[in-house]
Amino acid sequence: MKNGTAIAILCCLLVLAGCNRPKTSPAPQATAHGAALVEVSGGKQVAQAGMELDQPVVVQVNDAQNNAVTGAAVVFRGPAGVSFNPASGLTDSSGQLSTIVTLGGVAGRYVIRATTTDAGGKNVELKLDEIALGYQQTLGRELNRQYCSRCHNPESTRERVSNYDNLTTKPHAFTEGDALNKMSDADLAAIISHGGPALNQSPEMPSFGYTLAKSDIQALISYIRAVADPPYHSAGVVYAKK
Protein backbone atom coordinates (compact mmCIF):
# COMPACT_ATOMS: atom_id res chain seq x y z
CA MET A 1 0.00 0.00 0.00
CA LYS A 2 2.77 2.37 0.90
CA ASN A 3 4.57 1.64 -2.37
CA GLY A 4 1.38 2.28 -4.34
CA THR A 5 0.83 5.61 -2.58
CA ALA A 6 4.41 6.69 -3.26
CA ILE A 7 4.08 5.82 -6.94
CA ALA A 8 0.81 7.76 -7.19
CA ILE A 9 2.38 10.81 -5.56
CA LEU A 10 5.38 10.60 -7.88
CA CYS A 11 3.11 10.44 -10.92
CA CYS A 12 1.21 13.50 -9.73
CA LEU A 13 4.44 15.44 -9.24
CA LEU A 14 5.60 14.53 -12.74
CA VAL A 15 2.30 15.70 -14.22
CA LEU A 16 2.48 18.97 -12.30
CA ALA A 17 6.08 19.50 -13.39
CA GLY A 18 5.00 19.09 -16.99
CA CYS A 19 2.18 21.59 -16.52
CA ASN A 20 4.51 24.16 -14.95
CA ARG A 21 7.17 23.86 -17.63
CA PRO A 22 7.42 27.16 -19.51
CA LYS A 23 6.16 26.95 -23.04
CA THR A 24 8.51 28.01 -25.82
CA SER A 25 6.96 30.67 -28.01
CA PRO A 26 7.31 30.07 -31.73
CA ALA A 27 9.68 32.36 -33.60
CA PRO A 28 7.83 35.35 -35.11
CA GLN A 29 7.00 34.92 -38.77
CA ALA A 30 8.11 37.62 -41.18
CA THR A 31 5.34 39.58 -42.87
CA ALA A 32 7.72 41.33 -45.25
CA HIS A 33 11.22 40.99 -46.71
CA GLY A 34 13.90 43.53 -47.49
CA ALA A 35 16.89 43.74 -49.77
CA ALA A 36 19.50 45.30 -47.45
CA LEU A 37 20.48 45.29 -43.79
CA VAL A 38 22.27 48.36 -42.42
CA GLU A 39 23.69 49.46 -39.08
CA VAL A 40 21.87 52.26 -37.30
CA SER A 41 24.07 52.28 -34.19
CA GLY A 42 26.00 50.08 -31.79
CA GLY A 43 29.02 48.93 -33.79
CA LYS A 44 32.63 49.31 -32.58
CA GLN A 45 31.69 49.56 -28.91
CA VAL A 46 34.13 48.79 -26.13
CA ALA A 47 33.24 46.98 -22.92
CA GLN A 48 34.92 44.82 -20.31
CA ALA A 49 34.97 41.14 -21.24
CA GLY A 50 31.82 39.36 -20.09
CA MET A 51 29.82 42.58 -19.73
CA GLU A 52 26.96 44.21 -21.64
CA LEU A 53 27.71 46.87 -24.23
CA ASP A 54 26.72 50.34 -23.07
CA GLN A 55 24.38 50.89 -26.01
CA PRO A 56 22.06 48.47 -27.82
CA VAL A 57 22.93 47.32 -31.32
CA VAL A 58 20.31 48.68 -33.72
CA VAL A 59 19.91 47.48 -37.32
CA GLN A 60 17.50 48.41 -40.08
CA VAL A 61 16.05 46.44 -42.98
CA ASN A 62 15.50 48.39 -46.22
CA ASP A 63 13.97 47.46 -49.54
CA ALA A 64 15.66 47.91 -52.92
CA GLN A 65 14.67 51.61 -52.90
CA ASN A 66 16.19 52.13 -49.41
CA ASN A 67 12.78 52.40 -47.81
CA ALA A 68 12.41 50.94 -44.31
CA VAL A 69 10.68 47.55 -44.18
CA THR A 70 8.30 46.75 -41.33
CA GLY A 71 7.82 43.14 -40.22
CA ALA A 72 11.09 41.70 -41.55
CA ALA A 73 12.67 38.95 -39.46
CA VAL A 74 16.19 39.55 -38.14
CA VAL A 75 18.40 37.02 -36.33
CA PHE A 76 21.51 37.96 -34.31
CA ARG A 77 24.44 35.58 -33.93
CA GLY A 78 27.95 35.75 -32.54
CA PRO A 79 30.94 33.69 -31.38
CA ALA A 80 30.74 31.40 -28.36
CA GLY A 81 30.07 33.35 -25.18
CA VAL A 82 28.21 36.24 -26.82
CA SER A 83 24.52 36.59 -25.97
CA PHE A 84 21.71 38.73 -27.38
CA ASN A 85 18.47 39.98 -25.85
CA PRO A 86 16.47 39.42 -27.97
CA ALA A 87 18.30 37.03 -30.30
CA SER A 88 15.68 37.54 -33.03
CA GLY A 89 12.58 39.54 -33.82
CA LEU A 90 10.62 41.54 -36.37
CA THR A 91 11.47 45.06 -37.45
CA ASP A 92 9.24 47.84 -36.13
CA SER A 93 7.45 50.61 -38.03
CA SER A 94 10.79 52.31 -38.68
CA GLY A 95 12.26 49.09 -40.10
CA GLN A 96 14.52 48.68 -37.07
CA LEU A 97 15.28 46.03 -34.45
CA SER A 98 17.51 46.52 -31.42
CA THR A 99 19.23 44.01 -29.16
CA ILE A 100 21.28 44.16 -25.97
CA VAL A 101 24.64 42.43 -26.48
CA THR A 102 26.72 40.79 -23.77
CA LEU A 103 30.28 40.05 -24.85
CA GLY A 104 32.17 36.84 -24.16
CA GLY A 105 34.49 36.44 -21.21
CA VAL A 106 37.70 36.45 -23.28
CA ALA A 107 39.30 39.75 -24.27
CA GLY A 108 39.49 40.48 -27.99
CA ARG A 109 37.44 41.54 -30.99
CA TYR A 110 34.07 39.93 -31.54
CA VAL A 111 32.31 39.88 -34.90
CA ILE A 112 28.56 39.73 -34.46
CA ARG A 113 26.16 39.10 -37.33
CA ALA A 114 22.64 40.22 -38.06
CA THR A 115 20.81 38.26 -40.76
CA THR A 116 17.54 38.70 -42.64
CA THR A 117 16.19 37.13 -45.85
CA ASP A 118 15.11 38.75 -49.08
CA ALA A 119 11.96 37.88 -51.00
CA GLY A 120 13.76 35.01 -52.73
CA GLY A 121 14.84 33.44 -49.44
CA LYS A 122 18.49 34.50 -49.77
CA ASN A 123 20.30 35.52 -46.60
CA VAL A 124 21.31 39.17 -46.25
CA GLU A 125 23.98 39.61 -43.57
CA LEU A 126 25.50 42.53 -41.69
CA LYS A 127 28.70 42.23 -39.65
CA LEU A 128 29.65 44.48 -36.74
CA ASP A 129 32.83 44.56 -34.66
CA GLU A 130 32.74 44.89 -30.87
CA ILE A 131 35.72 44.98 -28.50
CA ALA A 132 36.04 43.15 -25.17
CA LEU A 133 38.75 44.42 -22.82
CA GLY A 134 40.81 42.35 -20.42
CA TYR A 135 41.83 43.52 -16.95
CA GLN A 136 44.91 45.51 -18.04
CA GLN A 137 43.06 47.09 -20.98
CA THR A 138 40.14 48.05 -18.74
CA LEU A 139 42.57 49.77 -16.38
CA GLY A 140 44.01 51.57 -19.42
CA ARG A 141 40.55 52.77 -20.40
CA GLU A 142 40.01 54.24 -16.93
CA LEU A 143 43.40 55.97 -17.07
CA ASN A 144 42.48 57.31 -20.50
CA ARG A 145 39.29 58.80 -19.09
CA GLN A 146 41.16 60.34 -16.18
CA TYR A 147 44.23 61.74 -17.93
CA CYS A 148 44.01 61.54 -21.72
CA SER A 149 40.54 61.87 -23.19
CA ARG A 150 40.22 65.60 -22.42
CA CYS A 151 42.68 66.26 -25.25
CA HIS A 152 42.61 63.08 -27.35
CA ASN A 153 38.81 63.01 -27.68
CA PRO A 154 37.41 66.02 -29.61
CA GLU A 155 33.86 65.50 -28.30
CA SER A 156 32.76 67.18 -25.08
CA THR A 157 30.40 65.50 -22.61
CA ARG A 158 28.58 66.64 -19.47
CA GLU A 159 31.35 65.13 -17.37
CA ARG A 160 34.29 66.34 -19.47
CA VAL A 161 34.82 69.42 -21.62
CA SER A 162 37.23 68.66 -24.43
CA ASN A 163 40.40 70.75 -24.77
CA TYR A 164 40.96 69.47 -28.32
CA ASP A 165 40.03 72.71 -30.13
CA ASN A 166 42.37 74.76 -27.94
CA LEU A 167 45.47 72.85 -29.07
CA THR A 168 47.63 73.95 -32.00
CA THR A 169 48.61 70.38 -32.88
CA LYS A 170 45.57 68.12 -32.84
CA PRO A 171 46.20 64.92 -30.84
CA HIS A 172 45.38 61.54 -32.33
CA ALA A 173 42.33 59.77 -30.98
CA PHE A 174 43.38 56.43 -29.52
CA THR A 175 41.28 54.68 -32.17
CA GLU A 176 43.37 56.17 -35.01
CA GLY A 177 45.23 53.02 -35.94
CA ASP A 178 46.56 54.47 -39.19
CA ALA A 179 48.82 56.73 -37.13
CA LEU A 180 49.35 54.99 -33.80
CA ASN A 181 49.87 51.47 -35.19
CA LYS A 182 53.09 52.75 -36.78
CA MET A 183 54.53 53.58 -33.37
CA SER A 184 56.27 50.90 -31.34
CA ASP A 185 55.35 50.19 -27.73
CA ALA A 186 58.64 51.81 -26.76
CA ASP A 187 57.73 54.97 -28.69
CA LEU A 188 54.35 55.16 -27.00
CA ALA A 189 55.92 54.61 -23.59
CA ALA A 190 58.45 57.38 -24.28
CA ILE A 191 55.90 59.96 -25.36
CA ILE A 192 53.57 59.15 -22.44
CA SER A 193 56.44 59.25 -19.94
CA HIS A 194 58.40 62.24 -21.27
CA GLY A 195 55.92 64.18 -23.39
CA GLY A 196 55.87 65.12 -27.06
CA PRO A 197 59.51 66.35 -27.26
CA ALA A 198 60.71 62.79 -26.54
CA LEU A 199 59.81 61.93 -30.16
CA ASN A 200 60.19 65.43 -31.62
CA GLN A 201 56.43 65.91 -31.38
CA SER A 202 54.36 68.81 -30.04
CA PRO A 203 55.39 70.12 -26.60
CA GLU A 204 51.67 70.48 -25.89
CA MET A 205 51.75 66.76 -25.10
CA PRO A 206 52.76 66.76 -21.40
CA SER A 207 54.85 64.17 -19.62
CA PHE A 208 53.20 61.70 -17.24
CA GLY A 209 56.32 59.89 -16.05
CA TYR A 210 55.97 61.28 -12.54
CA THR A 211 52.19 60.80 -12.47
CA LEU A 212 51.76 57.27 -13.78
CA ALA A 213 53.54 54.11 -12.73
CA LYS A 214 55.21 51.99 -15.40
CA SER A 215 52.39 49.46 -15.05
CA ASP A 216 49.87 52.24 -15.68
CA ILE A 217 51.69 53.28 -18.84
CA GLN A 218 51.70 49.68 -20.06
CA ALA A 219 47.97 49.49 -19.35
CA LEU A 220 47.40 52.62 -21.44
CA ILE A 221 49.41 51.15 -24.31
CA SER A 222 47.46 47.90 -24.05
CA TYR A 223 44.21 49.87 -24.29
CA ILE A 224 45.45 51.87 -27.29
CA ARG A 225 46.34 48.62 -29.07
CA ALA A 226 42.95 47.10 -28.25
CA VAL A 227 40.81 49.92 -29.69
CA ALA A 228 42.92 50.72 -32.77
CA ASP A 229 41.00 51.02 -36.05
CA PRO A 230 42.22 49.41 -38.23
CA PRO A 231 43.24 46.73 -35.70
CA TYR A 232 46.80 46.65 -34.44
CA HIS A 233 48.87 43.62 -35.37
CA SER A 234 52.05 43.00 -33.43
CA ALA A 235 55.16 42.40 -35.47
CA GLY A 236 55.84 39.40 -33.24
CA VAL A 237 59.25 37.93 -32.66
CA VAL A 238 61.93 39.00 -35.13
CA TYR A 239 64.83 36.60 -35.68
CA ALA A 240 68.14 38.01 -36.83
CA LYS A 241 69.44 36.68 -40.13
CA LYS A 242 72.79 34.94 -40.18
* pLDDT per position as a tens digit, 70-123: 999 999 999 999 999 999 999 999 999 999 999 999 999 999 999 999 999 999
Q: Distance (Å, rounded) from C-alpha 176 to C-alpha 154?
A: 13
How is the chain split into domains, by residue range?
A: 36-133, 135-227
CATH 3.40.50.150 fits 36-133, yes or no: no
Q: Is 134 helix (H, G, I), strand (E, B) or coil?
A: coil
Q: How confident is the model at residue 4 (pLDDT cuts 50, 70, 90)?
A: low
Q: How far, in Å, are 162, 166, 179, 195, 238 from residue 150 at the CA level?
A: 5, 11, 19, 16, 37
pTM (predicted TM-score): 0.81
Q: How far apart are CA 119 and CA 117, in angstroms?
A: 7
Q: What is the layout of strands, in order, in the sheet containing 96-102?
A: 36-41, 57-62, 96-102, 83-85
d(CA 141, CA 222): 9
Q: Please give the backbone phi and psi of residue 37, each rounded to the nearest 5 degrees, phi first.
A: -125, 120
* The pLDDT value given to residue 238: 46
Q: Rounded to whole angstroms, how far apart are CA atoms 155 and 162?
A: 6
Domain 135-227 carries which CATH code?
1.10.760.10
- How many CB atoms within 10 Å of residue 117? 18
Give the mean model confidence (pLDDT) for residues 182-203: 95
Round to whole Å and give the CA distance between 101 and 87. Answer: 9
Query: What does the CA dihedral 199, 205, 208, 211 come to, rounded to 10 degrees?
Result: 170
236 band by pLDDT with thresholds 50, 70 and 90: low
Q: For 24-67, how does the pLDDT look when each residue is reduced to its tens digit (9 = 90+)?
A: 445 578 899 999 999 999 999 999 999 999 999 999 999 999 99
Predicted confidence band of residue 8 (pLDDT cuts 50, 70, 90): low
Q: How far is residue 185's CA from residue 228's CA, in Å, rounded to a whole number?
A: 13
- Who contacts 175 (Cβ-Cβ below 8 Å, separation ≥6)? 227, 228, 229
Q: In whole angstroms, what separates CA 168 from the centre of its chain?
A: 32
Give whole-number Cα distances, 172 to 106, 139, 228, in Å: 28, 20, 11
Find, among 34, 41, 60, 42, the residue nearest to 124 by Cα.
34
DSSP 36-86: EEEEEE-TT-EEETTSB-SS-EEEEEE-TTS-B-TT-EEEEE-STT-EEES
Measure the CA–CA gap between 69 and 95, rounded to whole angstroms.
5
Is the peptide bond between 171 and the residue preceding it cis, with omega within 30 degrees of 0? Answer: no
Provide, rounded to the nearest whole percent, the portion of the chain with pLDDT above 70: 86
